[in-house]
A and B are shown apart, each in its own frame.
Chain A
Amino acid sequence: MSLLHYINAFFSDGAHWHGYDGIPHRLAEHLQYSFTALGIAAAIGLPLGLITGHTGRGGNALALIATAARALPTLGLLVLMFIWLGIGETPVMIPLVALAVPPILVTTYEAVRTADPAPVDAARGMGMGPIAVLFQVELPMALPLILSGVRSATIQVVSTTAIAAYVSLGGLGRYIFDGLYQRNYEIVVGGAALIALLAVAMIGVFYLVERLVVSPGVRLRRR
């Protein structure tokens, strides 16, 4: 039997569409974990990246943080947190936030730091203060790159939230781990397909967001 057959069987089974273990509820849980983690990560990464990028300092420290964060196995961190903190959302949030902060932080730093110096100088010459320069000149110019960092973090977090189910939480990963345990390959593959679809959908979402929020002038220059 082929993969597509299993996936089709999963999605066409009406029992998978309602109830506590139904797709809508699991999807809602999944999105809730993912976006909580992303919100926390953005609240940490964006301001730090803007400040370090604006001053142009701390690049080495950031590269070190990024490597260290990548070296930590997310699943391992999750199991450790689960052991230390017990069942709950916090042990899931910590590894997801640790996963999402580096791409947001490092891209924001790079984006602001490498913003074209000519408009920045012009803005200073016009009498803009450092805060106005940061928010009205550097930030709009850096936005496409910053968004690509946030997109990267979003895709990774949405994918990785699946492992929350490994330590007894909900989300779409539930299907994978329950299916593996019950030796029901249809559920395993169906859940995996849902998560993959969700992650790929995020690429589309960010494409739209970029169209909406990036200034047309900046967008044009990038071509």
Chain B
Amino acid sequence: MSGGNGYFDLPSDLQHSYAGLIGIHLEESLIPVAAGLVLSLPIAQLCVRYRWAYPPVLWITTVLYAIPSIAFFVFLIDYTGVSQTTVEIPLTVYSLVVLVPAIVDGIRSVPAETMAASEAMGFTAVQRYFQVQLPLAVPAIFAGLRVATVSSISLVSVGTAIGNQGGLGNLLGDALTYHRYNLAVTSVVTIALLAIVFDGLLIGLRMLLTPWLPRGSGAARKAALAAAVEPEAGAEKAAALEGAAR
């Protein structure tokens, strides 16, 4: 038995081992990103299809993104209780907010000639979407996915504030309660490492999915930077560039 000052010797109120907390943390942060992706693909497609729908969608997402996570969590307590769902719903919304503009920009950036060529080759609208538009939008989509994943992994920790629903973030609450400050270090370092690892995994996956792009190409870097420019700003930038091109 260690003296209770260790980095990985967790208080029993958490009811989980270190590895168990990592599992919960990933579950709580990645399910929302996946749900956000599934929801944002059709929404983005609607915005591409009906151009007038995009500005109001952008407005709604900008306002939703402005709602602080802690506020969002406590609003939901009344409906979903102190549970993982309460943390996962807001994170899904934030992912959606990041992903919709990324996907819309990605699909819009497919050159008109490419679309015309695929039409001339006899692609149906569905084939064109899955075999032309979506693959070409992969760099932009992944730039959005990286932002959504990294912020989701880091935001889950706020769930500790509503009562031990923060995965590894729960260690922060215990660090203060039990004066076990090492636990806070464990929490911050592990969360940051998880975020960086998943960011790297997404970069790798993107490279696998877009073999036609040169390694470390300017386009990929630009997409990453454009996404690093916060989501709403990214959309605004796309609008600005579009205006300049006209």
Query: CB within 8 Å of B: which residues of A?
Result: 1-3, 6, 59-60, 62-63, 66-68, 70-77, 79-80, 82-83, 102-103, 106-107, 110-111, 114, 116, 144-145, 148-149, 151-153, 155-156, 159-160, 162-163, 166-167, 173, 176-177, 180, 185, 188-189, 191-193, 195-196, 199-200, 202-203, 221-223
Cβ contacts under 8 Å, A221 to chain B: 243-244
Query: CB within 8 Å of A: which residues of B?
Result: 62-63, 65-72, 74-75, 77-78, 146-147, 150-151, 153-155, 157-158, 160-163, 169, 172, 175-176, 181, 184-185, 187-188, 191-192, 195-196, 199, 221, 224-226, 228-230, 232-233, 236-237, 239-241, 243-244
Cβ contacts under 8 Å, A82 to chain B: 176
The list of the 6 closest CB pairs from A to B, nearest first, reads A159-B68, A192-B71, A71-B195, A152-B230, A76-B188, A66-B228
Partner of B230, one of A76, A107, A163, A193: A107
- Cβ-defined contact, A67 with B199, below 8 A: yes
Cβ contacts under 8 Å, A60 to chain B: 221
Question: Provided the pairs A59-B221, A59-B225, A145-B237 are in contact, do residues A71 and B153 lie with their beta carbons within 8 angstroms?
Answer: yes
Partner of B70, one of A77, A107, A144, A163: A163
Majority DSSP secondary structure for residues of B touching A: helix
- Cβ-defined contact, B169 with A106, below 8 A: no
Q: Closest residue to A167 on the B side, CB-wise?
A: B176
Question: Provided the pairs A66-B228, A70-B147, A116-B244 are in contact, do residues A193 and B188 lie with their beta carbons within 8 angstroms?
Answer: no
Partner of A73, one of B72, B169, B196, B221: B169
Question: Provided the pairs A71-B195, A200-B66 are in contact, do residues A192 and B75 lie with their beta carbons within 8 angstroms?
Answer: yes
Cβ contacts under 8 Å, B233 to chain A: 103, 107, 145, 148-149, 151-152
CB distance from A8 to the nearest CB of B (A): 14
- Cβ-defined contact, B175 with A83, below 8 A: yes
- Cβ-defined contact, A75 with B158, below 8 A: yes
CB distance from A221 to the nearest CB of B (A): 6
- Cβ-defined contact, A192 with B70, below 8 A: yes
Cβ contacts under 8 Å, A202 to chain B: 66
Cβ contacts under 8 Å, B63 to chain A: 200, 203
Cβ contacts under 8 Å, A75 to chain B: 157-158, 160-161, 169, 172
Cβ contacts under 8 Å, B176 to chain A: 79, 82-83, 167
- Cβ-defined contact, B74 with A192, below 8 A: yes
